[in-house]
Amino acid sequence: MMFNLYFIQLKKKKKQIKTTNTINYFKTYLMKKLVLVSVFILAVLATVKAQETSEFKTETIAFIKLTGAGDAFNDAINQIGAMVSDENKEAYTKEASGTLDALYGKMAELYMAEFTLDEIKTLVSFYNTDLGKKLATKQMGLTQKAMMFGQSWGMEVQAIAEKYN
């Protein structure tokens, strides 16, 4: 009788172990599947985000160039290069122009932090209109004149402040 009881208990234990092993196997299997699906979803999302960021940056750089900044940078390269000898002018221009992509990239990051892709697209649309093109050609000169007004005004306010010291 004792032997039968021991044998029955042993059978129950084996059944429990088998059941536990089966449950553990399915848990492990499900966890692996869950991890794989999660990694796949993250990879897809990262790819989509990278494409959106790439489109956003490309569109933003196009906007920056439309505003007249591209012409201003090329003018600056030419003005700074005026002191370069004629024999080195071509090499200088090529190397200096090669720095523009990095500059546009940095400037794009500034705009991307302040504007959405849709807003940049709207701005690009505006700068492609006649009025937008006019603004792009006049903006640099207007900004320079406004800065001169600002400096003059600053000196005027400084004189007022000194009067009260």
> What does the pLDDT look like over 109-131, one tens digit per residue?
999 999 999 999 999 999 999 99
Domain-embedded: residue 128: yes
pLDDT score recorded for residue 7: 57
pLDDT in tens, 48-100: 555 557 899 999 999 999 998 888 899 999 999 999 999 999 999 999 999 99
Least Cα distance to 108 among 147, 70, 144 occurs for 70
Domain-embedded: residue 8: yes
Domain-embedded: residue 164: no
For the chain, percent of residues with pLDDT exceeding 90: 57
Counting beta carbons within 10 angstroms of the beta carbon of residue 61, is it exposed (0 to 12), middle (13 to 18) or buried (19 or more)? buried
pLDDT score recorded for residue 146: 92
Domain-embedded: residue 74: yes
Q: Could you tell me which residue, 47 or 62, shows the higher pLDDT?
A: 62
CA–CA dist 108, 59 (Å, integer)? 9
Domain-embedded: residue 143: no
pLDDT score recorded for residue 101: 94
Domain-embedded: residue 130: yes
pTM to 2 decimal places: 0.60
pLDDT score recorded for residue 128: 95
pLDDT score recorded for residue 112: 96
Domain-embedded: residue 152: no
DSSP letter assigned to residue 74 = H
Is-contact 132 126, C-beta < 8 A?
A: yes
Count structural domains, the chain: 1
Domain residues for the domain of 9 are 2-138
For the chain, percent of residues with pLDDT exceeding 70: 69
